[in-house]
Every structure is written in C-alpha cells, then in structure tokens.
Amino acid sequence: MASFWQFANPRRFIAATDRVLPWLWGAGALCLAVGLVWGFFFTPDDVRQGATVKIIFLHVPSALMAINAWMMMLVASLIWVVRRHHVSALAARAAAPVGVVMTLIALATGALWGQPMWGTWWVWDPRLTSFLILFLFYLGYIALWEAIEDDDTAADLTAILCLVGSVFAVLSRYAVLFWNQGLHQGASLSLDTQENVHDAFYHPLLFCIAGFVVLFVALVLLRTQTEIRARRIRSLQARQRAGDTAREGGAA
Amino acid sequence: MIAVLARDLKLAVRAGGGFGLALAFFLIVVVLVPFALGPDTGLLTRIAPGVLWLGALLSCLLSLDRIFALDWEDGSLDLLATSPCPLELLCAVKALAHWLTTGLPLVLLAPVLGVLLNLPAAGVAPLTLSLLTGTPALSMIGAFGAALTVGLRRGGLLLSLIVLPLYVPTLILGAEVARRGAAGQSYETPALLLAGLTCGTIALLPFAAAAVLKVNLR
C-alpha cells in the first residue's frame, strides 16, 4: 500500500529521500540561478529605488520561507503529538535552524534595503518587529531541544512549545499593529490582487521563491537524514557499551 | 485544592526570599530608570507607564522558576500529580498562588512607584487596571514556562528565553492601556483586548502546562 505514512519508517524515509534529494538540489540550484541571474542582471532599475530594488529577490523569498518553516514545524509537531512518528519530530527539529537562517536573511536584507530607502537600518515597524519576535521564538525552540537529553521528552516538550508559541506568535503579529503604524509597504505578493509587483520583477521573483522552497525542502530532508543517522549511531554505541559490560561481567 | 493554594501561599510568605524579592526588584528597577535617563520630569512622565509595566514583567519573571522547582526537588510534585485532583487544575492553582504572592503586590505597589516617575494622576487608574488584568496572564504563561523547564538543571535562563517572547502580546496591550490612560486618551479597546487575552490564557494554558508537566514527570 502506497501511503504517505510509510515514510514514518526511518529506513524507507532515508531510501526515498536519497532518491529525491539529487533532483531537489538540481531543481533548487537551477531555479535560484535562473531567478537570481535574471533578477539581478536582466531587470530594469526602479525609477526611485535604483538598483536596490533587486534586494527583493532575496528578501521576499527568505521572509516567506521563514514563516513557512515555522508552519512546517507546527505541522510536524502536530503529527508527532498525534501519531508519534519519530521522523516527524526529527523533521521539526531539522527545520528550526534553517528557519532561523531564513529569518536572519530576511532581517539582514531588510536592514540593507531600509538604510538607503528609509534612511535607517531598523524601525519598530509591525512587520519588522514581528519578525524579530519570530526569531526569538526560533531561538527558544532550538535552545529547548538542545537543553534536554532524553530524545522523546525533548520531542514532546518542543512540540507543545511549538503549538503554544504559534498561538502567541499570531497574537504578537496583531498586537504590534496596535502600537505602531508601519513604514513597511503592504504585501508584495498576494493571490487576490490584480497586479502585485510589476511583471518585470514578478517572473524572476517567482523563480527565486521556487528556488528557496526547493532549497528549504532539500535542506530539511538532508538534516532529517542526519538526525536519524546520528540517533542510530548513538543507539549502536549504547548497545555496544551494554554488550561490552555484559561480556566483562561474564568473564569475571 | 484550597489546601494546595494555602500551602503555596504559606511557603511563599514564610520561606522568605521569593515573596519580598520580586517587590524589591520592582522597586530597584523603577529607581534605577531616572539614574540612567536623567531626572527630566517631562521625559519620566512620558515613559512612566512603560517602565512600570516592564518592571512588573521582569519582577514576575524573576520568581517563575519557584512555581514548580521546589516541589520538583523534594518530590511533592509527584505526590500532587498522583492525587485525585486533575493536573490541569493544579497548574491553574499554582499560577494563582504565584499571582497572589507576586502579581497582586506588584499591582498594589505600582501606583506608589508611579509617584516616583511623575505619573500623572489621571494615569493611575488605567495603570492599576491594566496591571490587574494583565498580570494573571503573566503568571499563567510563566507557569507554563516553569512546567516546561522544570526537569532541567540550569533551566532559569532557558525559562526567560522561552517565556519572554510569549509575554510580548500582554506587554504591548498592557502598556498601551497604561500609556493611553496617562495621555488622557480612550483606552477601552486595548483594555478589552487585554482582558480577552488574559481570559484565553487562563482557559487554555493550564492544559498545555499539565501536558508538559506529565511529560517531565514520566
């Protein structure tokens, strides 16, 4: 029976992802190369912003993935809480550092963009602030994973933290609206508007977003594989130590 | 249930440290602010609501790890968990005890310290109101964080790292109520949102706290 849940078996997961990963790396590299080269070298400069407008090709995809990485961790945590598949917990763990890096890229490119445009690296604008809060949530999540030694306890606790944190992250997102009006522009991309950004930027941007998505999936799969293998090594070592002590006990 | 509450209150008052510490910390934070920023009364008036909220939040944070840590160390938490009383209710009562020993004194102290910061008279009522509605949420969120990190040896720093982002909405709304009140504006909307946030927190987080406590106790 072909079912999505067969990948809850670590061996099947590794076998399947081994087959898929080279394609993902290739597709991600291709999308990013096309999107970035097209975006950086073959789009016109903006009338007012000049060449700095091209930061959009890194800023928007990384910001998008920073949020989606948390979403993915939320789904993976839910699957762990409900169905107790270890691969799912490890995938959530694997996604967190990637999400942090995406958040940092978004914050850093945003600062680089804000400096020439708004005249400041940082403002306490709702969007910027909620990203900083998201960054703190990521840090707390990762720190909790690192702090707990027992794997299952850590998976349970971080899963619940992820669920509670998601609720509070959404609350923060809307609470900050209260407290400051924004300098950041509205959404660059949404499905329900007629035109988002101009087509000249829109098409390479789509390539960049696709590249970031594929890159994220590939990184998470790779890191999940690494986690599974690291855990397997630890259990093998533990078994060997247990065998050694048993043999010594038998000899004595 | 009442017995647990009474026991926690007695311990907090008699064992020393925990009860007065948060208040003293609050006092010191508020006193240090004019030293750092200068004695300009106009400036102090403007920042007083925010400083008082921040001070209350930090003092609250200071005593969070005591909610479960002591019971964890001497094993009474295991006994409480195996008692017929549901763990969710226990978490709520623990948070209530923390609020009664930390949050409520802070609320009562805040208007007095407001005088030090030149808080306008019109701002006292909204400040007290916002702290009164906001600090129970702080205690409940803190109880969740304390339950999360109770099994860790050096959980204190991690507890702050986890709890502080969770405090953001409460702080924003609470300080907004106090700020608008001090500025003489209408503060009904943020006050209602803050009350809603507190109610939601008290309704839902005991379940999350009990869930993580069960994981930590197994």
* Residue B19 tokens, joined: 């009860």
Please give the residue of chain B at the shortest CA–CA distance from A152. Answer: B215
Which chain B residues touch A178 with a CB distance below 8 Å? 172-173, 176, 190, 193
Instruction: Say if the Cβ atoms of B162 and A143 lie within 8 Å.
Output: yes
B190 lies within 8 A of chain A by CB: yes
Which of B172, B187, B199 is the mutation pick for testing A, counting most A CBs within 10 A?
A: B172
| B5-52 pLDDT tens trace | 777 777 776 665 566 788 888 899 888 988 888 888 888 888 888 889
Q: Which amino acid is at A167?
A: V
Answer yes or no: is the ipTM higher than 0.90: no
pLDDT, position A149: 82
Q: Which residues pair with A46 in a beta bridge?
A: A50
Chain B 139-158, residues with CB within 8 Å of chain A CB atoms:
144, 148-149, 151-152, 154-155, 158
Q: Does A170 touch chain B (CB under 8 A)?
A: no
Give the C-alpha separation, B19 to B11, whole Å: 9
Q: Is B98 helix (H, G, I), strand (E, B) or coil?
A: helix
The predicted structure's pLDDT at residue B14? 66
Give, for B175, the enclosing helix (H) or strand (E): helix B155-182
Q: What is the pLDDT of residue A193?
A: 52
pLDDT computed for residue B136 by the predictor: 94
Q: Which of A69, A233, A207, A83 is nearest to A142 (CA)?
A: A69
pLDDT per residue rounded down to tens, chain A (252 residues): 567 788 888 888 888 888 899 999 999 999 999 888 888 888 777 767 777 778 888 888 898 899 999 999 999 999 998 988 888 899 999 999 999 999 999 999 888 888 887 777 787 777 888 889 899 999 999 999 888 888 888 888 899 999 999 998 888 888 877 766 656 666 666 555 555 566 677 888 888 999 999 999 999 999 999 999 998 998 899 999 988 888 877 665
Distance CA B11, CA B6 (A): 9
Q: Is B173 on the interface with A (CB under 8 A)?
A: yes
Which residue, among A103, A133, A158, A160, would best test binding to B if mutated, counting the most B CBs under 10 Å from its CB? A160
Three-state DSSP at A50 gives: strand
pLDDT band at B196; cut points 50, 70, 90 = very high
Q: Residue A9: phi, psi to the nearest 5?
A: -75, 120
Buried b (16+ CB within 10 A) or exposed e, B16-41: eebbeebbebbbebbeebbeeeeeee
Nearest-Cα distance to chain B for A249, in Å, is 31
**What are the angstrom distances between the C-alpha of A237 and each of A14, B19, B112?**
20, 48, 62
For residue B139 the two structure tokens come to 């205690």
- Give mean pLDDT, residues B189-199: 91
Backbone angles phi, psi at A230, to 5 degrees: -65, -40
Quick: pLDDT tens for B101-157: 888 889 998 888 888 888 888 888 899 999 999 999 999 999 999 998 887 877 778
A175 → closest Cβ in B151, B173, B205: B173
Q: Give the single-character DSSP code of B66.
A: G
